[in-house]
Structure 1
Amino acid sequence: MWRIALAAPLCIAAAAAAAQTPPAEAPEEKPAEGVLPAPVAEMIRAAEPGQLDTIAALARRTQPQAIAEIDALVSEIRAAHEAEKQRRQALATQGFTNGWEGEAALGATFTSGNTDQQGASGKIDLVKQGLTWRHRLFAEADFQESDGARTRERYGASYQADHRFSPRFYTFGFVGWESDRFAGFTRRFTESAGFGWIAAQRPRLRLAFEGGPAHRQTRLAFDELEPDADRSRSELSVRGKTNLRWTVIGDLIFTEDAGFIVGSGNDTLFANSALTTKLVGNLSTRLSFDVKHETDPPDERVKTDTVTRASLVYKF
């Protein structure tokens, strides 16, 4: 009995002491061995080239469990910086004839029976991208015959140079030539200059707007009954244009070039919309729709001309 009496106060005292003792703190969680926290990795990637060594040294001190991963990330970033440096040096030193890329498109139509029709169209689009300059050369031809009579004959060529002075803005100079007897002119020159704005520049989407003053000189195609008529026209105009390239899904790409030339005489509105998808290698197929509207064509010709075509496209 005396043992029970002696043990009871001891148990009560032990319970009271346990109740007053604060619970042990949970051990601090540490990153797994060899795992670099995502915020630290992003900090290293965002470092300027001159700050990379300092940021990497700080990361090694605070994340000793991931030194090997930090070293690998730094090596990857340095390799990317070196590749970009070499690319910029190559662009800065290449000649005008080097660095061109582009595509050639060819389409044809043949029908027989009550009406025999043959048509062909071709386009060449070349682009050279430099550090701040971008050059574009474009040429096209389109003709069609119906029962031996020519029903469409159009040719065109243009050159444009863009100079980007900020990530979103650029200046441009444009000169173009076109001939379309069925639209009422044998030749028409257009010169334009102005400013452009890149509204969107992402891997799957590019959208740009540009505009400025323009000057057009036109040689009209009057018929033989009016040999003494004044065939020359010259006018100041305003030229505006949009350029859209959108990768819809996979290899399916939608493009659209649309614009206007508005002046004191005949105004022109135009648009080219196309869907292009890859076939094999550098070969693609394209379905396009062209529309062109002249507000005051000569000899009461039709104001709006549309062409729908399917073409094979080769990229190089």
Structure 2
Amino acid sequence: MTSRLPAYAALLTGLCLSAPARAELPGPVKAMIEAAIAKGDKAQVATVVEFAKETNPDDVAEIDALQKQFLAGVAEKEKARTLARQEAIRSAGLFDNWHGKGEVGANQSSGNSENIGVSGAITLERNGIDWRHKLRLRGDYQRSNGATSREQLLVAYEPQYRLSQRAFVYGLAQWDRDKLQGIDGRYSMSGGLGYKVLDGTAVQLAIKAGPAFRHTEYSADSQTSRLAALFGYDFGWKISDRLALSQNSNMVAAGGSSGTVFVDSRSTTFDILSALEAKVSDRLTTRLSYEIKYDSNPPPTKVKTDTISRFTMVYGF
């Protein structure tokens, strides 16, 4: 019995030596994976890798190694691009990296007047690493029977500092004039907290609130200064990717709304602006908007609610 052990050992050794070695990943399969990697599309590489694993289950480890190496390279490139963008932002001058929209068109109003006039607006925005700056200028002007019947102007600057992915701190400095409502100039300042309730690709909603101070100069040579509270929101909705209007034109439709409410011991005022935009080219957009302005305690002979509809052309820059 003991003498047979060397013979069994020799037999097992021979079987091991004669067993075929596991083949490497077939050349065509490896070439297919490398071709997908060369294009740099992560989704395409994932699809090719999935099929390669199904047809070559013995080579899963090698296939995973190829994908892991590719993903590591992609992550390194993305990190380098992010660092480059951040450095460009840090080294940018005060007037660099601004983008915005210019808007001009006609308007039809109801409330204190029933007239047709001209509307114009400019919106500028600058996004940094943690800071976001917004500057808005808007004006509406009307004349009726040789006399000015509407003169509304607004200038607002709002910086925001990001606290987290959704939370932020805001500041607001705003000046507006509404001759029709008997206001020569109204100065508003506010600061507080905001939060992005929805932050998706198609729908965004941000809310904010904080204390405010308002100084109002009336046409009747009187003025008031009061502490107030501000509540505001910004809503955006990309309705569809493409909406065909004809055989030769396409447009992207988007809707949105923004509102600001001031509450003090004397009155409550709010300004709500809703709009529907149709993008007809990379820079040109048509815009239909409707604005409601409300003052619970307006000057004598003035109504509480004023509305204005605008149809404008918007140019992005």
Report the TM-score, using the length of structure 1 for normalisation: 0.75
- 1:143 matched residue in structure 2: 141
**Cα distance change on mapping 1:92 and 1:143 into 2, 3 Å:** same
Specify whether residues 164 and 66 from structure 1 end up closer, same or farther in structure 2 by C-alpha distance, changes over 3 A only: closer
User: Aligned equivalents of 1:117 and 1:237: distance in 2?
Assistant: 33
What does 1:193-272 align with in structure 2 at a 5 Å threshold?
193-222=191-220, 231-250=222-241, 251-272=252-273
Q: CA deviation at 1:67?
A: 4.4
Partners of 1:170 and 1:65 in 2: CA distance: 44
Unaligned runs of 5+ in 1: 1-30, 46-60, 111-115, 223-229
2:281 aligns with 280
- Describe the SS at the equivalent of 1:88: helix
Partner of 1:152: 150
Closer, same or farther: CA 62–280 of 1 in aligned 2, 3 Å? closer
Q: Distance in 1 between matches of 2:157 and 2:286?
A: 25
The CA deviation at 1:68 is: 4.1
Partner Cα distance (2:116, 2:268) in 1 = 31
Structure having the higher Rg: 1
**Aligned to 1:63, what secondary structure does the other structure show?**
helix
- Among 105, 108, 118, the alignment partner of 1:107 is 105
- The TM-score with structure 2 as length reference comes to 0.74
Q: Is contact 2:261–2:270 with CA below 8 Å preserved after alignment? A: yes
Structure 1 residues 181 and 117 mapped into 2: Cα distance closer, same or farther (>3 Å)? Answer: closer
Matches within 5 A, 1:1-316: 33-34=29-30, 63-65=61-63, 67-108=65-106, 118-222=116-220, 231-250=222-241, 251-316=252-317
- Counterpart-to-counterpart distance in 1, 2:313 and 2:118: 12
- Kindly, what percent of the aligned residue pairs are identical? 28
With 69-78 and 188-197 compared, the bigger mean Cα shift is at 69-78
Number of residues paired by the alignment?
255
For the Cα contact (< 8 Å) 1:117–1:147, is it kept in 2?
no
For 1:67-120, what per-residue CA distance to the aligned partner results, in whole angstroms no more than 9, with x for missing partners?
44443333222211211111122122222211111101101259xxxxx96511
User: Residue 52 of structure 1 corresponds to which residue in structure 2?
Assistant: none
- Preserved CA contact (<8 Å) 1:178 1:187: yes
- Paired letter, 1:278: K
The answer to whether the 8 Å contact 1:100/1:127 transfers is: yes
Q: CA deviation at 1:65?
A: 3.4
CA contact (8 A) 2:107 2:308 kept: no
User: Residues of 1 paired with 2:279 and 2:313: CA distance?
Assistant: 10
Task: Say if 1:134 and 1:109 are closer, same or farther in 2 by CA, change over 3 A.
Answer: closer
Rounded Cα–Cα distance in structure 2 between residues aligned with 1:303 and 1:109: 20
Please list the CA deviations of residues 177-227 of structure 1 after superposition, one character each: whole Å capped at 9, or x if unmatched. 0111111110000000100011111222211000100000000112xxxxx
Contact 2:107/2:309, CA 8 A, preserved across alignment: no
